[in-house]
Amino acid sequence: MIDTDIDMFYIVPPNEEIPFYILEDCILTRLDYLKLLSEGSANEFDGKFEYLLENSIYDKAGHFVLRLLACISSDLCTYWVAKESLLFKQRLDHMSPRQLHKLLKQITWKLQIFKDRKSAIDTTLIELCKFYSQPLIFKHLVSNCHNCNNFRYEVRFEIIPDLVRERELVLSNGNVITYCSDWKKILQSLFSNYVINDMNIMKKQAQRIIKYDLRFNILNQKVQSYLFKECTVHGKISIDNIEEEAQKFPLCMQHLHSLLRRRHRLSHYARLYYSLFLKEIGMTLEDSITFWKQEYSKPHTCTSVCSHNWQSNEKKFLYSIRHMYGLEGSRRNYKTPSCNQICAGISGATYEGGCPFKDFDMNTFKNLLCVSLTEDEIEKFINNVSVKDPEVRCIAFLKLVCKNNIDDVVVKSPVQYYQKMSN
């Protein structure tokens, strides 16, 4: 029998029992540590290390329950898998040769014994671990094996798509050429893709468990709350309260919201700016996907500048939304354009956005003001505010519609405006 002390790939779920309150603590503690690890501050962690001891019941339970929850949330999946992969690398970096040899043997053994149906990733892992475990090759791996190509192994490109996408390795006839010095990089990539593949298999089961088991439902909400706290935003807007909150939007965003509701489409940059604004005032990724799916699934009007629909372009829309949330591509934290950028930015016949105080003709401007002001108030506002500066006019409008008396107002972005109205 092979010693089962190391299961860094989490192939076999735990079967021990632990109290639910401890399980919750394990999960939130794990998320705390993973966050610090991703920021390079793991040494600042002051939580319960016993929950993170490799191969402990707490470590396994924390990983597998987060894997379950991540099955139903693309946001959590991307957030968690990337950080769990860093934990795997950290453990790999601190392994002794004896531990590494045991890990390779156990991956092979567990996948062969516990997996009835083996995926392409499972098969690759088994063969690769056997390759690495060969005495001559293993001795070379744990020696000073850096930037060398003494031993070569080919992996199908679809098994490690992240390394292919980042052009980390050479691609030849559908195979990725890997060398002995790449072993840590390959194992880390296989770990991430093994976990993602396993989640895809258990997705339907996970949805049922979380939906019908109140404990997991509550746990899922707490984890989502934790993530919302991590991505601090300036409000709590959702698909349920957006119509009410839209009254607090600056006129530039009110205009885009109104057009979208009427035409069910926006031009590219208008959609980009409005999406970023909604993200920054608190709309979650899931709500954003639902919001845009609802609009772009409806027939567009003859006055729409965009004729795309969700049904035909779902993958592109999903990628675009996830990209804006920093979950695809360069994974940047994109911000809403400032007022200066909006005023100096896009122009053209197909662009519906811009600053109402600078770019709109009088009839369009008055129609927009009608949402918030009476006819008398509109006339007084237009006659009394003669300054040409859009920022000054926007602040004057904010003071007019805001119920509280406010002084020394500064508005440099649509998000700042919304903050002032919300406060």
Helix (H, G, I), strand (E, B) or coil at 32: helix
The model's pLDDT over 214-226, given as tens digits with 9 standing for 90+, comes to 888 888 888 877 7
- Whether 161 maps to a domain, the answer reads no
Residues in CB range of 367: below 8 A, 6 or more apart? none
CA 127 – CA 268 distance, rounded (Å): 47
Best CA proximity match to 234, nearest among 330, 331, 336, 319: 336
Q: Are residues 221 and 342 in the same domain?
A: no
**Residue 109 confidence (pLDDT):** 93
- Whether 379 maps to a domain, the answer reads yes
Lowest mean pLDDT among 34-43, 262-271, 384-393: 384-393
- Structural tokens at position 292: 């845009």
- Residue ending a domain, among 228, 262, 290, is 228
Q: Are residues 251 and 183 in the same domain?
A: no
- Structural tokens at position 245: 């909150």
Structural domains in the chain (count): 2
Sheet strand arrangement including 152-156:
152-156, 175-179, 170-172
Q: Are residues 339 and 381 in the same domain?
A: yes
Q: Is the pLDDT of residue 206 over 50?
A: yes
The model's pLDDT over 370-402, given as tens digits with 9 standing for 90+, comes to 888 888 888 888 887 766 788 888 888 888 888
- Whether 325 maps to a domain, the answer reads yes
Q: Residue 331 belongs to what domain range?
A: 241-422
Q: Is the pLDDT of residue 110 over 90?
A: yes
The angle subtended at Cα 153 by Cα 150 and Cα 159, nearest 5°, is 145
Q: Are residues 277 and 215 in the same domain?
A: no
Q: Are residues 91 and 195 in the same domain?
A: yes
Prediction pTM value: 0.57
The model's pLDDT over 293-335, given as tens digits with 9 standing for 90+, comes to 999 999 887 666 777 889 888 888 988 888 888 777 666 677 8
The model's pLDDT over 68-83, given as tens digits with 9 standing for 90+, comes to 999 988 778 888 998 9
Q: Are residues 219 and 246 in the same domain?
A: no
CA 66 – CA 76 distance, rounded (Å): 9
Q: Are residues 320 and 418 in the same domain?
A: yes
- Whether 173 maps to a domain, the answer reads no
